[in-house]
């Protein structure tokens, strides 16, 4: 049975309130999840008053503003700031997304920022994705061909075959989908989750790959695959507009018809 | 990872979507229907034991609570059937598009109430 409430050491407490010091007239309250491993205390939610007149358009700009001007100890991952690397995936206003491409003007009221759901927190907004990466490794995300040493030839792909990968190869593995999935929350150790299954489908569907049957067999498992109940939180949260639910549905269909 | 690291909040903070709401409703309603079918089987069995049994249940079902129960069950069955149709189309590989899934979800929800009203009218011989 899944545990629906948070464990005792994860209960969220009321944190500090950082009042605005710039005397700005355009102030917005930003609630940010904080946890510092060095203090041994429970996580808390800090509230920051941010001057929105001098702030960039994206949620990541707010986080930078807080880190640069209010509290330098705020910790979060980011790299490209253009929605390509997937580092700044977090829970923004109740839905997972990339802070760098989410406009804060799209959200009304106070802004709530949490780490990706149901992960072990490393610090503040950083969750531990080790399990997900291990699962990703388990589907062997590389091209497998029967060719041996000398007879290696170019693997050609027609345009049509290539088009089959559209909507799947764009995945940046930001983990927004997997951590939005209630099934993955309760069975994350066994169920592969939308991100990894979408990747699995991407390799199953690659015309150049020679291991399709073996890949299908490996993923056809009560827990690995069929914990997907088409809740569709994954597709709703994907910042790249991909459809993991459809990918999983396609794998199920392939298994049912092969 | 050390075990004393906290777990980030999940159910507590995640915003409900139409799709996730219908999904959990589908499951709850499924459990209710499971027990309802058992009850209905017992009821039918009781009828075979004689008329007096039938009238006892007849009295019960005509109380306010009984009526509420029957109408509720009409809804749970209607909803489960319509939402199961969505699952069938998904299994066939269609309807995964975000907009389509949303529309079919709303149709299933509204349809379940329409079906309930239809059941009620049919049952009351109002046609």
Tell me the DSSP string of B15-61. Answer: PP-HHHHHHHHHHHHHHHHHHHHHHHHHHHHHHHT-HHHHHHHHHHH
Domain presence at residue B44: yes
Q: Any idea what the CATH number is for the domain that residue B77 is in?
A: 1.20.1300.10
Residue-level pLDDT at A68: 96
- pLDDT interval class at B1 (50, 70, 90): very low
pLDDT in tens, A50-75: 999 999 999 999 999 999 999 999 99
Contact A147, A62 (CB under 8 A): no
Give the residues across from A91 on adjacent strands.
A96, A114
Task: Report d(CA A44, CA A26) in Å as an integer.
Answer: 26
Mean pLDDT of chain B: 92
Distance of CA A207 to the CA centre of its chain: 27
**By the 8 A CB rule, do A115 and A90 touch?**
yes
Q: What residues make up the domain containing B26?
A: 20-123
Residue A140 pLDDT greater than 50, yes or no: yes
Total domains in chain B come to 1
Asked if the C-beta of A239 comes within 8 angstroms of chain B's C-beta atoms, the answer is no
Residue A219 token pair: 């993923």
pLDDT of B27 strictly over 90 = yes
Is pTM beyond 0.80? Reply is yes
Alpha helices in chain A (DSSP H): 59-65, 130-138, 159-163, 182-187, 193-204, 212-219, 233-237, 244-257
Residue A33, beta-bridge partner list: A45
Largest Cα–Cα distance in chain B? Answer: 67
Residue B109 covered by a domain: yes
Q: How far apart (Å, rounded) are the C-alpha atoms in residues A93 and A99?
A: 11
CB pairs under 8 A between A and B: 110
Are B7 and A93 an interchain contact pair (Cβ–Cβ within 8 Å)?
no
Question: Do B14 and A253 count as a contact with CB atoms less than 8 A apart?
Answer: no
Contact criterion met (CB < 8 Å) for A117 and B97: no
For the segment B52-66, the average pLDDT, to the nearest whole number, is 87
Q: Which of A37, A91, A233 shows the shortest C-beta gap to B17?
A: A233
Answer whether residue B108 is part of any domain. yes
- Within a domain: B45: yes
Q: By the 8 A CB rule, do A73 and A59 touch? A: no
Q: Could you tell me if residue B7 is inside a domain? A: no
Residue B81 is assigned to a structural domain of this protein: yes
Q: Map out the domains of chain A with their CATH numbers.
A: 8-127 (3.10.20.30), 130-144+155-257 (1.10.1060.10)
Mean of the per-residue pLDDT values for chain A? 94
If contacts are CB pairs under 8 Å, which of residues 105-164 in chain A contact chain B?
A: 112, 114-122, 127-128, 130
């Amino acid at each position: 049975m899944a545990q629906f409430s948070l464990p005792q050491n994860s209960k969220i407490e009321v944190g500090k309130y950082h009042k605005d010091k710039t005397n700005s007239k355009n102030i917005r309250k930003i609630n940010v999840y904080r946890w510092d491993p060095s203090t041994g205390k429970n996580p808390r939610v800090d509230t920051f008053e941010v001057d929105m007149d001098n702030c960039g358009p994206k949620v990541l700009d707010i986080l930078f503003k807080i880190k640069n001007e209010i509290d330098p100890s705020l910790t979060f991952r980011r790299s490209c700031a253009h929605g390509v690397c997937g580092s700044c995936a977090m829970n923004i206003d109740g839905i997972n997304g990339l802070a760098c491409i989410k406009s804060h003007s799209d959200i009304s009221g106070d802004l709530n920022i949490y780490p990706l759901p149901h992960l072990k927190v490393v610090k503040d907004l950083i969750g531990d994705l080790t399990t997900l990466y291990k699962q990703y490794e388990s589907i062997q995300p590389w091209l497998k061909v029967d060719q041996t040493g000398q007879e290696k030839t170019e693997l050609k792909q027609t345009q049509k075959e290539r088009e089959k990968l559209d909507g799947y190869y764009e995945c940046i593995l930001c983990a927004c989908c997997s951590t939005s999935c209630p099934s993955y929350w309760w069975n994350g150790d066994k169920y592969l989750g939308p991100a990894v299954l979408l990747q699995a489908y991407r390799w199953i569907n690659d015309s150049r790959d020679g291991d399709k049957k073996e890949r299908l067999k490996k993923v056809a498992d009560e827990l690995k695959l069929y914990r997907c109940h088409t809740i569709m939180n994954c597709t709703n949260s994907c910042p790249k507009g991909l459809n993991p639910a459809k990918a999983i549905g396609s794998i199920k269909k392939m298994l049912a018809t092969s | 990872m050390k075990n004393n690291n906290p777990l980030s909040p999940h159910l507590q903070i995640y915003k409900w979507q139409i799709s996730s709401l219908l999904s959990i409703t589908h499951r709850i309603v499924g459990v209710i229907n499971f027990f309802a079918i058992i009850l209905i089987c017992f009821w039918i069995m009781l009828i075979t034991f004689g008329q007096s049994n039938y009238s006892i249940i007849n009295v019960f079902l005509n109380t306010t609570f009984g009526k509420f129960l029957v109408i509720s069950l009409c809804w749970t069955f209607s909803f489960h059937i319509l939402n199961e149709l969505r699952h069938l189309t998904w299994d066939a590989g269609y309807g995964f598009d975000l907009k389509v899934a949303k529309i079919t979800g709303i149709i299933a929800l509204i349809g379940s109430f329409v079906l309930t009203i239809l059941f009620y009218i049919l049952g009351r011989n109002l046609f």
